[in-house]
Amino acid sequence: MNRQDFLTRLAAALASLTDGEVHKILVYYDEIISDRMEDGMTEQEAVESFGSVSALAQRILAETPLAQRVAAKAQTKNKGVLILLLAVTSPVWLPLLLAVGGVLLGLLGALFGIAVSLVAVFVSFAVASVACFIAGMARFATLGVASGLFAMGAGLILAALTVFGWFLMVGGVRALRAAARALYRRAALLFRRKEAVL
Question: Do the Cβ atoms of 13 and 54 come closer than 8 Å?
Answer: yes
Position 67 confidence tier, pLDDT thresholds 50, 70, 90: very low
pLDDT per residue as tens digits for the range 121-167 = 889 989 999 999 888 888 888 888 888 888 889 999 999 989 988 88
Give the length of the chain.
198
* Domain spans, the chain: 3-64, 92-197
Of 169, 168, 155, 167, give the one whose Cα is nearest residue 126.
Answer: 155
Amino acid at 65: P
Render 13-65 in DSSP notation, one character per residue.
Answer: HTTTS-HHHHHHHHHHHHHHHHHHHHTT--HHHHHHTT--HHHHHHHHHHHS-
Task: For residues 13-27, give the mean pLDDT.
Answer: 82
- The stretches of the chain forming alpha helices (DSSP H) are 3-13, 19-38, 43-48, 53-63, 66-142, 145-197
Confidence of residue 91 (pLDDT cuts 50, 70, 90): confident
Range with top average pLDDT, 80-84, 159-163, 177-181: 159-163
As a whole number of angstroms, the distance between CA 80 and CA 75 comes to 9
More confident residue, 126 or 15: 126
Predicted pLDDT of residue 197: 47
Distance CA 138, CA 146 (A): 12
- How many angstroms separate the CA atoms of 179 and 49, rounded? 63
pTM of the model: 0.45
